[in-house]
Structures are given as C-alpha cells and as structure tokens.
Amino acid sequence: MELLKERILREATVINNDVLKLDALINHQVDPMLMQELGKEFARRFKEHSITKVITVESSGIPAAFTTALALGVPLVFARRKKTLIADPDALCERVPSFTKGIVTDIMVSRQFLTEEDSVLFIDDIIANGDAARGLIKIIERSGAKLAGVGILVEKSFQAGARTIREQGIKVESLVKISSLEDGKITFE
Ligand code: 5GP
C-alpha cells in the first residue's frame, strides 16, 4: 500500500539489519487519519469473510485493529499481556517470546469474548518471527472460533513469521512487505 510505504520512508528509522523503528507512526505516536485508512484497507480485503470480531495483542496492535473493527462494524478484542499467570478458568492463555523485549510474556483472552460462533480477523502491527501471531492463533483455535485471516501492517518478509503462517493455509494480508533492512536501507518487496 503506497500510502504506508511513503510514511515509512519518511518517518521510520532502521535500527539494525533486523529491526525497524516505527515510533513516529505506530509504536509510540499514532496518526489516527493514517490508521483509519489502513483499517479501511483491511476491511476491504476481508469483506467477504463475514467477520464477527477483530482481535489483536496489546498494545501496539490496538490502533490498527480498532480502525479495522470500526470499518467492519464489529467489536475489537485485545489479548492482554499478564505479568503473572494466576490460574484463571475463564481465560485462554499462551506464553509468547517478545521479539523486541527479549523476554517471554503471557497473553490471555477471556473465554466470554471468543465463542464458536465467531469468525475472527487477527490484526497486528509488525510480524517478524511470528511468535505473537502463533500464540494468538492457538488461543483462537482453543476458543472454537474460526480464524478468517490475519492482517499485518508491516511484514518483514526476510523473517519467517508470515511465510510459516501462510504455509498453514491461513490467509495473511500485509499492507507493506519489507524484504531487507541491510545497510540502513529499507527495501520493499
Ligand atoms: P514476532 O512475534 O512476529 O517475532 O514479533 C512481533 C511483535 O514484535 C510485533 O507485534 C512488534 O510489536 C514487535 N516487532 C517485531 N519486529 C519489530 C520491528 O522491526 N520493529 C518494531 N518496532 N517492533 C517489532
């Protein structure tokens, strides 16, 4: 999506060959007008899938997931990151490694917000190795809800996450694909 590519070129910083800093438009400051356009684009790409809920992981997935849910006219559920995992019979939990923080966190979704009647669209900001996505996909599967697909703002296609999820037969739509961050240069696919 050209709009997002232009903004990334103008406002993102390459930290190293693996990490792109997107604090100016996604991870720290958020441009609501941009997010609204991105949400409409996800809604357009998944409009045939009878989505009943949009789901994401807190916190940086929330703005794009919110505008997607608004465009589709459905609720947004965000998985919460828990610091301690006290057994909760009403929660679906998964432990996921964090790409940027180098720690593991537990994510949880209350069973009451995901049911067998739901057709769920998972939206996230960036995909790298796919650990966050795999954790949330497991939660969706255990809830009995149907995963309609995955929408990602920025896919780093030189890392394996999105590819391995597509290989499971899941529809993954990325608005922008970055094939390399080598030598401080952002290369789009
Ligand atoms: P994964 O679980 O796919 O390895 O990593 C996904 C999560 O890590 C994303 O939700 C995102 O918040 C964070 N992340 C991964 N790569 C990057 C990156 O290059 N830049 C930033 N800012 N966050 C990233």
Express each pLDDT in 59-111 by its tens digit: 999 999 999 999 999 999 999 988 655 667 788 999 998 887 778 889 999 99
List, chain by chain if needed, residues with CB within 6 Å of any ligand 1 atom: 19-22, 27, 60, 99-100, 124-133, 161
Please state, in angstroms and rounded to a whole number, the distance separating the CA atoms of residues 50 and 36: 20
Task: List the CATH code of the domain at 38-177.
Answer: 3.40.50.2020
Sorted by where each begins, the domain ranges of the chain are 38-177
Give the nearest ligand 1 atom to 97 CA. 2
Largest CA distance in the chain: 49
Q: In this model, does residue 181 exceed pLDDT 60? A: yes
144-152 average pLDDT score: 97
* 7-35 mean pLDDT: 96
Q: Are 43 and 77 in contact (CB under 8 A)?
A: no
152 Cα: distance to centroid of ligand 1 (angstroms)? 11
